[in-house]
Amino acid sequence: MTNRSPFLLVLPLVVCACATTAPRFPSGAVVDMTYPFDEQTIYWPTEAGFQLKKEAYGHTPQGYFYAANSFSSAEHGGTHFDAPIHFAEGHPSVDQIPLEKLMGEAVLIDVTRQCAANPDYQVTQEDFAAWEKEHGRIPDGAIVLLRTGYGARWPDRKSYLGTEERGAEAVAKLHFPGLHPETARWLVGNRSIKAIGLDTASIDYGQSTLFESHQVLFAHDIPAFENVANLDRLPAKGFAVIAFPMKIKGGSGGPLRIAAVLGQGS
Amino acid sequence: MTNRSPFLLVLPLVVCACATTAPRFPSGAVVDMTYPFDEQTIYWPTEAGFQLKKEAYGHTPQGYFYAANSFSSAEHGGTHFDAPIHFAEGHPSVDQIPLEKLMGEAVLIDVTRQCAANPDYQVTQEDFAAWEKEHGRIPDGAIVLLRTGYGARWPDRKSYLGTEERGAEAVAKLHFPGLHPETARWLVGNRSIKAIGLDTASIDYGQSTLFESHQVLFAHDIPAFENVANLDRLPAKGFAVIAFPMKIKGGSGGPLRIAAVLGQGS
């Protein structure tokens, strides 16, 4: 029995290996990265904000309890999705983005330190290079999240946006970090990412007037997630993102429900 | 070397087994089970429907293209989520359901044949028993989808709802299948499911006046997905569902983006 016992010992492990190669839906911890929509939800200074109307709440004549509401909103407010058509004529609307593009492996680039010192900070190619030096090249098909640290300021408009004023005149007073247009150009030319998101109100920084990072990314059909919550709970890599926007036909964007699943292998 | 070569042969497989046990985000085919929100989207006869307002579309004075809209909607229309508070006082609103409850292994119970013969069909415990006889007991924590076949009728209101009339008087003319309240009672008492969904406008059938299946399920904090699309593309089991609703604070429900990932092991 000299040369048989090892086989018998190891065989169950091999069977187990086959079983685990059948994919199993991930069971890692889930981080909900979505702010609720309510009267505090931050919208652009030119927008009215989220409005909920209570249509029914209480016991009906038939005896059962019933609650229902209606609501109105701009597409771009709170935790939301920017579709390419938002800034790129002829490019996909929110309903035209396949969900495969909005799920999968993700990375987090933390620029909290840089942004703490400068509310007008724009994420540089060097920030990406520093991440890659430590963690390796951003994988093809990754979803990239930028953590500016501004999530800690939500829902204080003055601190989060740089101004609590409303209306068209307030736009020039916006101060918050974003992605530098040069970095956006480098990204679309040199990496193959599915989407990008961050914890500020816009992928372009508050002082932007031409929204060039939007233009560059959307011309390459890379959508953006804005006002993403809870980025402080994520590691630099080893997690997956699921980002499901409301399916508005022809929409330039819309409310987004976005979550991370931790402990995902790459 | 008689008793060493088997070890050497098998070792790489064992290493491979360890690597695959590190979870990997699923890469199976994705089925989007969401209808777009547009002017055709079916709402309850008492509701106004989805309304999109074009706020901007075209080239700005600064030279770049820009498109943005606003919208209004009832919480319960199109592919949507029913939170327990919709029919169960003191129970969770849509923003209070952890996303873990809305992701994972799912099963599909097909009652297309029964519903083709009877627009007032209510899914029975026998339908569940027949599924379990063929596929095994519904796993704890599964998401259950009921396929009535009514998805093929969308977006024809007359065929899908039983009436194309609007207003309070039209409600008595609704005819479409749902889950029988007795089956709902059996389900909450005897199986441990996360959520339930179907391809009609309501988990209670069209002729319901007391919405008892809603009451029973929601009293047990089992939310419902309604007007779910593309159930004809799913197998009976071996897939996962991700159902992410809009995070309306205190909402009784809301727009839902729901997808299946095929080829998931159980």
pLDDT in tens, B64-122: 999 999 999 999 999 999 999 999 999 999 999 999 999 999 999 999 999 999 999 99
**Distance in angstroms (rounded) separating the CA atoms of residues A172 and A155:** 20
Largest Cα separation within chain B, whole Å, is 87
Q: Do A76 and B62 touch (CB under 8 A)?
A: no
Residue A113 neighbours by CB under 8 Å, 6+ apart: none
Interchain CB distance below 8 Å, B66 and A87: yes
Buried b (16+ CB within 10 A) or exposed e, B108-140: bbbbbebbeeebebbbbeebbeebeeebeebbe
Task: Please answer yes or no on whether B73 and A69 come within 8 Å at the CB atom.
Answer: no
* Start-to-end Cα distance in chain B: 41
Which of B219, B223, B228 minimizes the C-alpha distance to B201? B228
- 8 Å CB contact between B211 and B76: no
Q: In this structure, are residues A174 and A157 in contact, taking their beta carbons and an 8 Å threshold?
A: no
Nearest to B65 among A7, A89, A246 (CB): A89
Q: How confident is the model at residue B264 (pLDDT cuts 50, 70, 90)?
A: confident
Q: What pLDDT does A15 receive?
A: 36
Paired with B72 in beta bridges are A72, B51
Note whether A19 contacts B104, CB cutoff 8 Å.
no
The Cα A146–Cα A197 span in angstroms is: 6
The alpha carbon dihedral of B117, B121, B125, B127 has a sign of positive
Q: Which residues of chain B make contact with A73, given a CB cutoff of 8 A?
A: 70-72
- Is there a contact between B75 and A50 (Cβ–Cβ < 8 Å)? no
Measured between CA atoms, the residue of chain B closest to residue A213 is B64
Amino acid B240: pLDDT: 96
What pLDDT is recorded for position A2?
A: 41
pLDDT of residue A27: 72
Query: pTM, whole model, 2 decimals?
Result: 0.92
Structure tokens at B118: 């009877």
How far apart are the C-alpha atoms of A19 and A22, rounded to whole Å? 6
Q: What is the mean pLDDT of chain B?
A: 92
How far CA A189 is from CA of A34, A135, A136, A192, in Å, comes to 30, 20, 18, 8
Q: Is the ipTM of this complex over 0.90?
A: yes
Q: What is the pLDDT of residue B12?
A: 39
The span from the CA of A51 to the CA of B216, in Å, is 30
Length of chain B: 266
**Closest in A37, A66, A75 to B70, CB measured:** A75
| C-alpha pair distances (Å), A51 with each of A34, B179, B238, B245 | 18, 33, 40, 17
| Residue-level pLDDT at A28 | 86
The two beta strands, B143-147 and B103-110, are parallel
Secondary structure tally for chain A: helices H, strands E: 6, 12
Of A16, A25, A244, which is closest to B104 when you measure between CB atoms?
A: A25
**The predicted structure's pLDDT at residue B9:** 40
Determine phi and psi for B110, rounding to 5 degrees: -95, 115
Tell me how crowded residue A177 is: count the other CB atoms within 10 A of its CB: 27
Interchain CB distance below 8 Å, A16 and B16:
no
Q: What is the pLDDT of residues A155-177, one digit of tens each?
A: 999 999 999 999 999 999 999 99
Q: Which residue stretches of chain A have pLDDT < 50?
A: 1-22
**Span of A135-149, A208-222, B2-16, B128-142 with lowest mean pLDDT:** B2-16
The amino acid present at B151, given as its one-letter code, is G
Q: How far is A245 from B257, CA to CA, in rounded Å? A: 7
Are B113 and A34 contacting, i.e. CB atoms less than 8 angstroms apart? no
Closest CA to A75 of A113, A112, A44: A44
CA–CA dist B77, B43 (Å, integer): 4
Taking the alpha carbons at both ends of chain A, their separation in whole angstroms is 41
